[in-house]
Chain A
Amino acid sequence: MCTIAALPEEILLDIFLCLDTPDIIKAQSVNQSFNRVASDDRLWRELLLRRYSELSDADDRPKTSIWKKIYSVMNRMESSIESALEEVSNLEQQLEHAKGLLDRSNQTIRVLENLPDMLERERDLIERELRESQQSKEFLQTALRSQERHLEVQQIHWQQMEEKLVKTTVRLQQLEASLNEANTREEDQTVQMRNLKQENREMRKELSELRGVVYSEQFQTNKIARENDRKERVIVKLDANLAEKTRELENTRELMERTVREERSKRTQLERNMMTLNQQLEENTDRFNRQSHSMGQRQQTLEKLIKDESQVNGELKKELKRLEREMKRTKEKHEMEVGRMKDILIKSNQLKALSYNIMAKA
């Protein structure tokens, strides 16, 4: 399989330079080659400069300057993390408080939601009572009407009786007149008269009895009428009572509805508050995580940079020492060479002088 695993690590580094830190962190755990490239200092130097552009102008200055800048950036980061932590704990407290408030308002809403049902039940009860009292009122009215009818009948009967009495009286007078006429005549007529008187007494007794019946009927009728009046007054009172209760009920209901509405709006507001608080908390936690994560990254890189720098420094010192030693050796060698050359020169001069001598001799 021909893949990017076959690419030279130099080219991989160029590819990684096109990525951002999170992707590089993920890519480094692919395999060892990726891990090596993702650990290259050139890459992290670029990432650091890309992220903290304020460091970049320090690049051409002495090394101490960049470390100071890195230190100050990290210092700022740490203080911002601390303040974010504080904010998070504050928000948590606020959230707890809001939760308590929400619970309380939920309870109130439950109670208020049950109230209309109770009121409804009470109203039904009152309506039933009213219906019953109206029925009894109707019943009493019919009873009153029948009593009146009965009274009328009794009165007619009475009038008839009275007419009869008047007639009887007239007849009696006639009979007395005829008795007076026949008084002297017939003893039998006296007996007849006595009998007639007897009849008259009986008739009167009957009449007085009838009168008594009429009076008692009248008395009963009056009693029923009084009863009727009392019941009507009770019904009127009950009506008023019902109207008042209904009004009261309406008021209470309105009040309840208003309270429920208020509680609901309070509750939605609380929920909204809680949501924003939650969101803020999440954001802060997120930010905190991101910051602490980037801090970790930076610290690691910085440590590595420090280590590398000190290593290079040691190596350079070693190299310098070696070079100095070599130079010393070369100098000595050179001086020896010069000495030898001088000897040779002296020798050659001697030879030259010898040859001149020989030539002169020759």
Chain B
Amino acid sequence: MASESISVTTSDDQTIQLSRKHAQMSQTINSMLEDSVGADQEAIPLPNVSSEVLKKVIDWCTHHENDPAPVEKVKKLNKKREYKAKNSTISDEWDKNFVNAELRVIVDILLAANYLDVKGLFELMCKHIANELKGKTPDQIRERFGIQDDLTEEDKAAMRKAWGATKNDS
């Protein structure tokens, strides 16, 4: 079997060592490792992830390395049950502290977790952003996330018609 340490190259051309256990928590890296069994272990290129963000991801993996593996969604039915149970409460104190970061960093970690396919981290970031959206008016959301209102009058009229005037912004 290969060595206990894996090296990856980040988008800013840094080579970072991480343990095999942590690397395998990313489905993307895991499948790359399985594809290259027996070949020379070169550094795995991760062109979409910066070293700053990768370090954050490794931090999270280190804290969650002993979590039970996510249950495989064999059937559609199971997936649905999962959605039903889904809520956006973050129960882990460490996680709460982890998401207490700048919005830019949060978005970068979310994109990295999506690219690296780290299920738990991806869900945590989704929950965090969902909590940020919760209970806010459209104006407040636009202000918080710096979004331009590019909806046409027709779009707004259609939404008013569908959901009633009170649901729309001013």
Q: Are A18's CB and B130's CB within 8 A?
A: yes
Take A3-B145, A14-B126, A32-B151 as given contacts and tell me if A26 and B136 are in contact as well, using a CB distance cutoff of 8 Å. Answer: yes
Question: How far apart are the CA atoms of A185 and B145 in the complex, in Å?
Answer: 166
Take A4-B145, A26-B167 as given contacts and tell me if A18 and B87 are in contact as well, using a CB distance cutoff of 8 Å. Answer: yes
Name the distance in Å between A309's Cβ and chain B's nearest Cβ: 18
Q: Are B114's CB and A23's CB within 8 A?
A: no
Q: Are B76's CB and A29's CB within 8 A?
A: no
Q: Does A56 make an interface contact (CB < 8 A)?
A: yes
A46 to B, closest residue via Cβ: B83
A20 to B, closest residue via Cβ: B134
Residues on A with beta carbons closer than 8 Å to the beta carbon of B163: 25, 293, 296-297
A293 to B, closest residue via Cβ: B164
Residues on A with beta carbons closer than 8 Å to the beta carbon of B87: 18
Take A5-B147, A29-B156 as given contacts and tell me if A59 and B76 are in contact as well, using a CB distance cutoff of 8 Å. Answer: yes
Residues on B with beta carbons closer than 8 Å to the beta carbon of A300: 162
Name the distance in Å between A151's Cβ and chain B's nearest Cβ: 104
Q: Does A1 make an interface contact (CB < 8 A)?
A: yes
B134 to A, closest residue via Cβ: A23
Interface residues of B in 30-85 (CB under 8 A from A): 76-77, 80, 83-84
Q: Are B149's CB and A27's CB within 8 A?
A: no
Take A3-B145, A23-B135, A60-B77 as given contacts and tell me if A35 and B159 are in contact as well, using a CB distance cutoff of 8 Å. Answer: yes
Please give the residue numbers on chain B whose beta carbons come within 8 Å of chain A beta carbons, in ascending order.
76-77, 80, 83-84, 86-88, 103-104, 107-108, 110-111, 114, 122, 126-127, 129-130, 133-138, 141-142, 145-151, 155-156, 159, 162-164, 167-169
A-B contact pairs, 22 of them (CB 8 A): A4-B107, A5-B146, A7-B107, A11-B110, A11-B114, A14-B126, A18-B86, A18-B130, A27-B133, A28-B159, A30-B142, A30-B147, A30-B149, A31-B148, A34-B147, A46-B80, A49-B83, A50-B84, A56-B80, A59-B77, A60-B77, A296-B163
